[in-house]
Structure 1
Amino acid sequence: MTETASTSRGGGDVRLTGISKTYGSFQAVRPLDLTVPQGSFFALLGASGCGKTTTLRMIAGLEDPTTGTVHLGDKDVTDLPPYKRPVNTVFQSYALFPHLDIYENVAFGLRRRGIKSVREDVGAMLDLVQLGDFAKRKPHQLSGGQQQRVAVARALINRPQVLLLDEPLGALDLKLRRQMQLELKRIQTEVGITFVHVTHDQEEAMTMADTVAVMNAGRVEQLGAPADLYENPKTTFVANFLGTSNLIEAEIAGKHGDDVVVTAGGAKLLLPAGRCAAPTASGGKLLIGVRPEKISLTHADDAGVIPAGRNRVTGRIADSSFIGVSTQYVIDSPVGPGLEVYAQNIERDTRLVPGAEVVLHWNPAHSFGLDAEQSPLAGTVGVGAVDEEVS
């Protein structure tokens, strides 16, 4: 678990140095360093109460940091009020003016700054968000997704250095939310402005962001590209919060080339030493992790056809759920109860039903190792996160 986090790419549009926020005895954001690369789509991801919204509000100037500084580009804006910072914020509540049509909603920021000729800029911005034909409609005549795009256009027309998005898609239904994820990413790519996006939705962050900072209890737990965070979690919180992980308590038996050899429930398993975020001394403990979709499931009668060199454990199917694209199995095994396996519905084996004896097997390269001192439940629903949101 880290107190600081930073990116390795060039200069940043947003630089937080030693930033923290305390409310009385409650530390909403612990001291952290964070750099958001210029022109990137950056996500602050975490459960309610993790400090992500407070961090965003300190960037916007809506909260004063207890310690640390906020730089936008090369300028220290820590003591500047919100209206003097080159940022705009889009909230979950679109905050559109109901009595103004879409054109005037988007033009509002320009008119407020005394700009008389707004037609070209407003037209271009409405075209960017694909609402050029809706200029004369009122907000109540638009869908939720369209209203959100108007809110984005209204924020972008002021040409901010950074656009802050605070759970902007939270009020939309699932299908519309997924469409808007792609829309926001397209818009960000076209305009090239730095986006900092706060969300509790793991899929949303991974779909949209170039870089994700996973926050927990006021600190950045891990930072990186979505695929790297998913494939190489460094803590049990990240492993569980980003999708689902099977975490098996194991004892380290030694090394075999570049692999660590562990034993669990009578099974010998391998994992790459380079994917171990834990000490690997013989006799020690670690948690060996593997994602459910990385595991293959074979009926025990066919165990002889499993290729050599794969990690394998035996078990019995306790439950199964058909969800369309895949079937999700729950397996009780000597290495632990409740192992999860996701199998694509391509050629279903009708013998794989509750009660069946099976072998779970996977490529050792898909395993990762975590410190066994951590709770294997951290990051699951209701575990490992603060319940109180401070905004």
Structure 2
Amino acid sequence: MTKTATSQSSGGDVRLQGISKTFGSFTAVHPLDLTVPAGSFFALLGASGCGKTTTLRMIAGLEDPTTGTVELSGQDVTALPPYKRQVNTVFQNYALFPHLDIYENVAFGLRRRGIKSVKKQVEEMLDLVQLGPMARRKPQQLSGGQQQRVAVARALINKPQVLLLDEPLGALDLKLRRQMQLELKRIQTEVGITFVHVTHDQEEAMTMADTVAVMNGGRVEQLGAPADLYENPASTFVANFLGTSNLIAAEVVAVSGDDVQVTAGDAKLRLPAARCSATLAAGEKLLAGVRPEKVSLAHADDAEAIPDGRNRLPARIKDASFIGVSTQYVIDAGALGALAVYEQNIERDGRLIPGADVVLHWNPAHTFGLDAAQDISAGADLDEEAA
């Protein structure tokens, strides 16, 4: 899709330098430096209380930073009130005017600025969010997803350099939320302006964003493209919070080129040195991580058929949950604890039931290594309500 002249002529870089926020003795956001490139879809992801919404509100001018500066397109706006910043915010409750129809809700910002001829701009914006035929309906006559699109149109018609989205899909049911994730991404691609999106929903962040900043305790734990964060978590918090990870306590035996050999209980495993953030020397402890969908299950009777060169762990099935597209297994790996395995339901083995002895096996290249000094369960059971 071609980007509009509106988006091409605007800036949109967001740069936070040394920005922090304290409320009394509580530090909501520790000093952080963050740059959001113009035209990108950027997500601040984290659990309740991590500081993501406070960070968004400082960009919007709704909170004054305790330290640091906020720059938009190279301009220091730290001291400017919200209405003097080239940003607009879409909130979870949409904040539409119930007494105005959709057309007038979208036109509101233009009329407030004294613009007389609004018809063309409003119609273009309603077409962008695919609500043209509903222009004369009231908000209460629309679904939640349609109201959300009206809120986006009302914000975008003001031609902001940056659109801030504060848990915009939180009030929608799961199916509609997934539809709206794709819809918002389409809109952002079409208009080409910077979107900064706050969410506690990992799938939402990974579906929509070009770049994700995972926040924890008022700090950015890791920053990167969704696939990179998922495949190469830098901490146990990111490994556990962004999806599910099996983290296995292990000890380094030897390092040979790019190959690291470790022992985990009685098992010997291998992993790439390039995927290790832990110290690599014989005798050092590390956590060997592997995602549940990367692991295969073989019944113990078929162990000899497992190809050579794969990591393998003997274990026993503790529980199995059929969820349609896959079966999720809880595996008892003895001293190594409980592990998760997700297998697609393509050719189900009827012997893989609770109590069955099995061998877990996977490609060593799918293993990552983390510093064992971290909390192995960090981020695993966080409250998923919006901050």
Tell me which interval the TM-score lies in, with the shorter structure as reference length. Answer: over 0.9
- Indicate how the Cα distance of structure 1 residues 348 and 259 shifts in structure 2: closer, same or farther if over 3 A, else same: same
Number of aligned positions between the proteins: 377
Alignment partners' CA distance in 1, 2:42 and 2:305: 45
Q: TM-score, normalised by structure 2?
A: 0.96
Structure 2 residue identity aligned to 1:288: A
CA deviation map 1:187-236 (0-9, x unaligned): 00000000000000000000000000000000000000000000000000
Q: Which residue of 2 aligns with 1:61?
A: 61
Q: State how far apart, in whole Å, the 2-side matches of 1:189 and 1:289 are.
A: 35
> CA shift at 1:388, angstroms?
10
* Distance (whole Å) between structure 2 residues aligned to residue 204 and residue 336 of structure 1: 32
* Residue 122 (structure 1) aligned with residue 129 (structure 2): no
Q: Quick one: which amino acid aligns to residue 156 of structure 2?
A: L
Within 2, Cα distance between the matches of 1:263 and 1:230?
24
The answer (yes or no) to whether the contact 1:12–1:35 under 8 Å persists in 2 is no
Q: Where does residue 131 of structure 1 map in the other structure?
A: 131
C-alpha distance in 2, partners of 1:360/1:283?
25
Residue matched to 1:273: 273
1:81 aligns with 2:75: no
* Alpha-carbon distance in structure 2 between the residues aligned to 1:106 and 1:265: 62
Does 2:98 align with 1:98?
yes
Q: Could you say which residue in structure 2 is the equivalent of 1:150?
A: 150
2:171 counterpart SS class = coil
- Cα-Cα RMSD: 1.3
Are 1:264 and 1:335, in contact at CA under 8 Å, matched by a contact in 2? Answer: no
CA contact (8 A) 1:249 1:372 kept: yes
CA distance in 2, matches of 1:382, 1:109: 39
Aligned counterparts of 2:277 and 2:203: Cα–Cα separation in 1: 24
* Structure 1 counterpart SS, 2:88: strand
AA aligned opposite 1:118? V
User: Quick one: distance in 2 between partners of 1:233 and 1:378?
Assistant: 13
Aligned equivalents of 1:248 and 1:12: distance in 2? 43
Q: How far 1:335 moved relative to its partner?
A: 5.0
Write out aligned runs for 1:1-391 (5 A). Answer: 13-334=13-334, 336-382=336-382, 389=387
Taking every aligned residue pair, what percent have the same amino acid on both sides? Answer: 80
The aligned counterpart of 1:8 is none
Q: Is the 8 A contact 1:43 1:212 kept in 2?
A: yes
Judge conservation of contact 1:46–1:200 (CA < 8 Å) in 2: yes
In 1: Cα distance, 2:53 partner to 2:329 partner: 36
Aligned mates of 1:108, 1:258 — CA distance in 2: 60
Deviation at 1:256, TM superposition (A): 2.9
Residue 381 of structure 1 and its aligned partner are, at CA, apart by: 1.1
Counterparts of 1:254 and 1:20 in 2: how far apart (Å)? Answer: 43
Structure 1 ranges of 4+ moved more than 6 A: none
Shift of 1:382: 3.5
- 3-state SS in 2 of match to 1:277: coil
